[in-house]
Structure 1
Amino acid sequence: MTERPASLLLPVAAVVAAMVSIQSGAAFAKTLFPIVGPAGMTALRVGFAALILLALRRPWRRSLSARELGAIALYGAALGLMNLLFYLSLRTVPLGIAVAIEFTGPLAVALWGSRRPADLAWIGLAVLGLVGLLPLHETAAIDPLGAALALAAGGCWALYIVFGQAAGRAGGPSAVALGMSVAALLVAPVGIWQAGADLLVPATLAAGLAVAVLSSALPYSLEMFALTRMPRPAFGVLMSLEPAIAALAAMPLLGEVPSPVQWGAILCVSAASIGMTVSARRRS
């Protein structure tokens, strides 16, 4: 059976909207690091997102088996660690570059699931773009610890994609709410330890709520919708738009402007995303 082009239209739109939302939220969150630190910001973001999703989805209305709860717990743990490690990397690494390093996770998922030569060609173009996004050609070096944290976040991102599909099948619309709750329980102690009472300042709470909506509640719901409706390799390479969107979001909020070489790399990554999406539409 040949997959119709229209069948991927909504999932692709959902993934793009999720990336715009999450990277705008990340850029705004980085401006708040001097107040509560990256771990405190992670706790606010994930905690508020969990409360919002619990109120909207009310997952307690549906009973789940132990196996289904296990799948959701793995998804939530990957989600929480991905957020925490990524925010920790942003202390010393520019947003667009951190996302480029983190993208090794979904790229690995795409490589693992691809067998067609055309798919491998598009992935090769994405790799070329990612290499251009890294400042290997510049005199300024990336902080090794920040880069390692972004790479670890990428590993969690890969697990998020894999576990997210299983969690979506197990919990349906409730999976995101339950997974976010697990993530909140995981990262909240670290955030409280770092920021303490500063997390309770009204202005900080309001900012945390805004970040939660932009960076967690809305995008993860959109991604869960897409994960269960499109092939895993297509989802992984479509996410290669993330460095481009992150770089654009960082320009007005953080003043982090990509170099001309990095802009050329962004075009390569975007072309790879479009090519992989078109290829997925024709896949049987």
Structure 2
Amino acid sequence: MATTHTPAPTAPATSSRGAGVALMSGSAVSNQTGAAIGSLAFDTITPAGVVAVRQWIAAVVLLATTRPRLREFTSAQWRLVIALAGVFAVINLALYSAIDRIGLGLAVTLEFLGPLAVALAGSRRRIDLTCALLAAAGVAVLMRPQPSADYLGMGLALLAAVCWACYILLNHALGRTLPGAQGTATACGLSGLLFVPIGIGVLVTHPPTWHALGYAVTAGVLSSAVPFLCDALALRRVPAPLFAIFMSLNPVLAATAGLLILGQHLDVWQWASIAAIVTANTTTVLTRR
């Protein structure tokens, strides 16, 4: 009688998952390290100058790697691309301006309310309501009245959160009409064009030093080019839920980068708030079917 057996998982599959985790880890660390290094140039070329350089580098990398067929875009696709370009411009300028005012860890934590809001929107599950309340409690603690509270900085971070939610929805719509990352790359290119006059104006009124330009370029490479390439490779090796969980850890990495690179210290309540928002994000992902 013939016997059958279930083959053990192959080494390549395990190796591929491990490579995916390494890529996601590298992407997250690179992203937050780049943001921290970029903030070192704020005093010289302002957040707008750093964002301009970052957008230019991102545009070059994405357009070079995707090579979108612009002549084949329909008017409906162009409308989505233009809207996404505007979102790109606002989200990065709002986030970096927030980092300048309230620090890297708190700015990125508040920004991550955007993806959480999209995940929870329209849900009636009890676990999602619990996650929403947990995140709301974290935000309430972060934004509690105190002498050092910078509500403009917090508002800018929340604006970045709204933009990130719009980015997710627009990217989803573009993904259904354009193959690959053509829409995202084109939007990034248009956003880079928007920052040409802004960047020139900033660099003229705030003459850059070589150190400042180096910080800004490093931010562009570490926070745009490296994450884009790492994420694209990681998504081929790991399931989307695992990728989303790793994304949820970015606030912790941002706070750590802020501490180690910028010397930005957080109190116990701020760390607890970050933990609450990260837990809400992670729980929402883990309990999705």
**TM-score (structure 1 length as normaliser):** 0.79
Mean Cα deviation higher: 86-95 or 212-221: 212-221
For 1:135 and 1:124, locate their aligned partners in 2 and report how far apart those are by CA, in whole Å. 15
Letter of the 1:150 counterpart: A
SS in 2 for 1:59: coil
Select the residue among 151, 161, 170 that pairs with 1:154.
161
Identity %: 34
Q: How far has the Cα of 1:240 moved from its partner?
A: 4.6
User: Does residue 188 in structure 1 map to residue 165 in structure 2?
Assistant: no
- State the aligned residue count: 266
Q: How far has the Cα of 1:216 moved from its partner?
A: 1.9
Relative distance call for 1:261 and 1:99 in structure 2 (3 A) is same
Deviations along 1:93-140, one digit per CA (max 9) or x if unpaired, are 1121222333333333223142322222233323333434x1627x44
**TM-score (structure 2 length as normaliser):** 0.78
What does residue range 204-243 of structure 1 map to in structure 2 within 5 Å?
Answer: 204-220=212-228, 230=240, 240-243=248-251
Contact 1:238 1:273 in 2 (8 A): no
Letter of the 2:101 counterpart: T
- Structure 1 unaligned segments of length 5 or more: list them: 1-5
User: Does residue 145 in structure 1 map to residue 144 in structure 2?
Assistant: no
Letter of the 2:144 counterpart: L
Relative distance call for 1:135 and 1:74 in structure 2 (3 A) is closer
Select the residue among 248, 265, 268 that pairs with 2:256.
248
**Paired position in structure 1 for 2:66:** 57
Relative distance call for 1:213 and 1:175 in structure 2 (3 A) is farther
**Paired position in structure 1 for 2:131:** 122
Q: How far has the Cα of 1:43 moved from its partner?
A: 0.3
Q: How far has the Cα of 1:222 moved from its partner?
A: 5.8
**Paired position in structure 1 for 2:11:** none
Q: How far has the Cα of 1:45 moved from its partner?
A: 0.5
Contact 2:138 2:277 in 1 (8 A): yes
Relative distance call for 1:182 and 1:118 in structure 2 (3 A) is same
Letter of the 1:151 counterpart: L
For 2:174 and 2:160, locate their aligned partners in 1 and report how far apart those are by CA, in whole Å. 19
**Paired position in structure 1 for 2:50:** 41
Select the residue among 28, 51, 56 that pairs with 2:37.
28
User: Does residue 267 in structure 1 map to residue 275 in structure 2?
Assistant: yes
- Structure 2 unaligned segments of length 5 or more: list them: 1-13
Mean Cα deviation higher: 181-190 or 76-85: 181-190
Measured on the aligned residues, the alpha-carbon RMSD in Å equals: 3.2
